[in-house]
Amino acid sequence: MSEKSPGARPEIQVKGLHKSFGDNEVLKGIDLEIGQGEVVCVIGPSGSGKSTLLRCVNLLEDPTKGQVFVGGTELTDPDVDIDAVRRRIGMVFQQFNLFPHLTVTENLTLPQRRVLRRGKAQAAGVAAENLRRVGLAEKADAYPSSLSGGQQQRVAIARALSMGPEVMLFDEPTSALDPELVGDVLAVMRMLANEGMTMMVVTHEMTFAREVADRVVFMDGGVIVEDGTPEQVIGNPRHERTRHFLSRLLDPAMADVEEETSDQVGGGEPKSD
């Protein structure tokens, strides 16, 4: 983890955030601040609102009520230039969303040229540097179909980094990967944390959260139940809901049909949430 400057302004602020899908209120008044260079992992059961919260931070989902600020700019202001603000936010999804007909380099240079208006040579140089950072310099001319899932996710991270973001959002970036491929992706995320990147990570990777996160936020039922250091939230949770979730995560055989049904009824967002 990087050293944080005391009193640094929040890079992400969420105030009184509500989100409903029809009659289903998925977020029920979320207040959250993430400082510059801070790594915050968001954990919780399916249907708890984790992914919806993440998607509201860059307005992929429009909040029903509340405010979202990134770098001091209010994204929920009707007059905001949302495209300009989104250029400061990198997003990595569960699925890689690479263009199959483009090479790795082309996948990285296309958004730079179209959104940032960079020239071909500059975009290629930025792409090459970020492929090196994620350990895939030798795959510059490869096509996505020739890469493993873990390599494709690292390309997706490099693509996001090539846009020069100030904040990185990760939505279960390892959930679609075979277990043996997870480590390489987490190593890249650990590198970014050590470099001081502000990161908000929805994850079930408890080892990563314990070792890399500055704070862990546990959500359930559309609210934040606990927010503290990994040692507090994972190592010594105060709330029974947190303890129960962690015990089920570590020993899935403890889940029973009634509880699993309860988790899914709270849906209204992606099942992976």
- Domain ranges for the chain: 12-88+166-250, 100-165
Dig out the tokens for 124 from the structure.
């290629």
pLDDT on residue 131: 97
In the predicted structure, residue 229 carries a pLDDT above the cut 90: yes
Reported as a pLDDT band with limits 50, 70 and 90, residue 252 is low
Rounded CA separation 69/218 (Å): 21
Domain 12-88+166-250 carries which CATH code?
3.40.50.300
Taking the model in full, what pTM does it have?
Answer: 0.88
Mean pLDDT, the chain, rounded, equals 89
Long-range contacts of 109-117 (CB under 8 A, 24+ apart): 109/162, 111/159, 111/162, 111/163, 112/162, 112/163, 115/83, 115/87, 115/163, 116/87, 116/163, 116/164
Residues 6 or more apart whose Cβ sits within 8 Å of residue 253: none
Number of alpha helices (DSSP H) and beta strands (DSSP E) in the chain: 10, 10
Task: Give 82 or 124, the one with higher predicted confidence.
Answer: 124
In the predicted structure, residue 129 carries a pLDDT above the cut 90: yes
Residue range 203-221: average pLDDT?
Answer: 95
